Amino acid sequence: MSVAIYVRVSTALQIDNTSLDIQVDLCKKRALELGFFESNIRIYREEGATGEDIDVRPVMTTLRQDVADGLIKLVICTHPDRFSRDMTDKLIVMREFEKYRVDIKFTDTEFSNSPEGILFFNILSAIANYELSLIKKRTVRGRERAVKEQKKIMPMRVAPFGYDKDDEGQLIVNQREAQYVQMIYEWYVFENLTMREIGSRLYDSGVMPKRGESKNWGASSIGRILTSEIYIGNYYYNRRKSNKIKGQVTESGRQKRTINIRDREEWIQVSIPALVDEALYELAQKQKIKNTTNKHVGNQKYQYLLKSLLKCAHCGRTWDATTYSGRENKNTGKREQYRCYRCPNLNPKKYGPEISRCPSQVIRAELLEEFIWGEVTRLVTDPEYFIKHIQGKAENGMDDIQDRIDLIKKQLETKEKEKEKLKIMFKRDVITEEEMVKEMKQINIETSVLKDELNKYQNHIAAQQKDQLEIEHILKIIEIINDKMGNPDELDFDFKRHIIEMLFEQILIKCEDNNEITITSVGTFDKLLGKSDVRLCTQRQKIRQHRRRHGGSNLHRHHWLD
């Protein structure tokens, strides 16, 4: 039978130094002193294994199996914490050895299988467990301090695409990759490219993923770029919390973990150089939601440009996209189908005295779509009108607001000086403590009011700046639409739908008397007009043109309104 020497270091960083060799030499010396020959010694060398869970250490598992198979008579180790720092795991191993009548010796401490020896061993185990907890706490505190004070980005082995990591652990911009990050966002938002199409463009450009061994890009890598707040300058440390799953390992041999997201208040934010602006980032997030919720905007036979965007101004329901059958065609013998939009409350599925029929009407889809797309093309052909309008609106009164902000800041500085003055007066016995507390309370109330007002004005300016960024992105959209206008084949339904979704969050439909329809936009298009709720048009003139074209004083059911 053999004597086993078990040695371990806890991290991969220690593998290359002499720690393991020193442990082996000490254990060999003890084995020889006990009368064993070197030919009887088996060395179990655990390199870079954690001291917390014995079940995920391959060499420890081999040792325990050899002990169970009766191959080992004695186990020698430098110290009990080399087996494990966890007290429970340590006792499990010791009981296994005792079960198979295997003795254990340590080079750094004495151990005897007696009540006193077992008590001493348990005390050592408890101390080791306590030291492990202290090490974890010190490590966590050290990392948090490095993040807060030194702005280090950790833990992060490889910098995200678009960045490099310098010697001080901070992220710096990789200019070449940063250009492609901007392109990825523009391709996704403005050109409505899929992940596959973006990956193909990156591949054709010869751009390598950050961790990739080839030029092939995965959808997950592109998705992370499009969703990570790192690209708008926000890195969060302490966002995730991992817990080890005892006794389970991954395919690569690492210990399995569960990942949970901590409460946002526990996150530590570090500002880094942004590669895209917040407005473009938000457009990408909206686009992601639209891609998942509006994958099908038509049915098998028909496509609807405005499906899910139309809201009834009368009852608030989202309008349906459907078809109506017309008269039978004498030549073909078939009934023609007409695409239409209608409020579902036109014919309610619930009945009773409290259920009322919506006063709206059915609208032919092609006429409504033609009108909305016409407004979009008008924006394209004459963007200067909208841009001047919104810029004039944004600039109007901004100087006055900034002057007010500067004044409030000065008033806040004055309040702080008043506080310091009160403290000095109290120290010099000019005023009593009661008088000081009373004056301080009043100053704090006035300071709170000023801060609230300052916050309101600063939010207003931030909103205006964000609107301005959105206008810049709209100009990019206009440029793309203009390019595609020159090539009608590229101006397909999917592209039109993408543009409509970017400009309109909702389109409110109200059917007035005398066949007049009021269409109201809610979304980015409003901002171009400088209003929160914009009347695009009343359809009176459109209806008159339609009547002249089709004849008759009344509208036919299948033409404009049903």
Q: What is the pLDDT of residue 559?
A: 32
DSSP 82-116: HH-SSHHHHHHHHHHHHHTT-EEEESSS---SSHH
**Residue 538 region by backbone torsions, left for phi larger than 0, else alpha for psi between -120 and 50, else beta:** beta
Write out the E strands in 200-276. 234-237, 240-249, 255-261, 268-271
Could you read off the pLDDT of 237-277 as tens digits, one per residue? 777 776 666 656 666 556 676 777 778 777 877 888 899 98
Angle between helices 433-485 and 383-395 in degrees, nearest 10 = 170
Tell me the average pLDDT of the chain.
77
Question: Rounded mean pLDDT of 418-444?
Answer: 91
Question: Rounded mean pLDDT of 310-322?
Answer: 88
133-137, 157-161, 198-202: least confidently modelled range: 133-137
Q: What is the pLDDT of residue 42?
A: 93
Whether residue 104 has pLDDT greater than 80 = yes
115-119, 127-131, 231-235, 540-544: least confidently modelled range: 540-544
Q: Contact 246/257 with Cβ under 8 angstroms? A: no
- Identify which has the larger pLDDT, 45 or 332: 45
Q: What is the pLDDT of residue 300?
A: 55
Whether residue 151 has pLDDT greater than 70 = no
Whether residue 153 has pLDDT greater than 60 = yes
Q: What is the pLDDT of residue 403?
A: 81
- Burial label for 341, CB within 10 Å (0-12, 13-18, 19+), is buried
Q: What is the pLDDT of residue 71?
A: 92
H or E stretch at 144: helix 115-150
Q: What is the pLDDT of residue 532?
A: 35
- Identify which has the larger pLDDT, 362 or 295: 362
Q: What is the pLDDT of residue 257?
A: 67
Q: What is the pLDDT of residue 20?
A: 85
- Identify which has the larger pLDDT, 156 or 344: 344
% of the chain beyond a pLDDT of 90: 19
Whether residue 551 has pLDDT greater than 70 = no
pLDDT range class, residue 422, cuts 50, 70, 90: very high
Question: Rounded mean pLDDT of 421-433?
Answer: 90
- Identify which has the larger pLDDT, 367 or 151: 367
Could you read off the pLDDT of 163-174 as tens digits, one per residue? 988 877 788 899
Most confident of the following: 2-16, 41-55, 205-219 = 205-219
Question: Rounded mean pLDDT of 62-76?
Answer: 92
356-360, 396-400, 472-476: least confidently modelled range: 396-400
Could you read off the pLDDT of 52-61 as tens digits, one per residue? 667 778 888 8
Q: What is the pLDDT of residue 220?
A: 87
pLDDT range class, residue 546, cuts 50, 70, 90: very low
Q: What is the pLDDT of residue 319?
A: 92
Angle between helices 433-485 and 278-293 in degrees, nearest 10 = 60
Whether residue 528 has pLDDT greater than 70 = no
Question: Rounded mean pLDDT of 195-219?
Answer: 85
Q: What is the pLDDT of residue 395?
A: 54
Q: What is the pLDDT of residue 442?
A: 93
Whether residue 17 has pLDDT greater than 50 = no
Whether residue 547 has pLDDT greater than 50 = no
Q: Contact 199/219 with Cβ under 8 angstroms? A: yes
- Identify which has the larger pLDDT, 294 or 457: 457
Q: Contact 74/104 with Cβ under 8 angstroms? A: yes
Q: What is the pLDDT of residue 421?
A: 92
Question: Rounded mean pLDDT of 286-309?
Answer: 73
% of the chain beyond a pLDDT of 70: 72
Q: Which of 332, 331, 327, 309 is nearest to 319 (CA)?
A: 309
Question: Rounded mean pLDDT of 284-299?
Answer: 69
Rounded Cα–Cα distance for residues 368 and 338 (Å): 13
pTM: 0.53
Question: Rounded mean pLDDT of 382-396?
Answer: 59
Question: Rounded mean pLDDT of 221-246?
Answer: 82
Rounded Cα–Cα distance for residues 514 and 415 (Å): 63
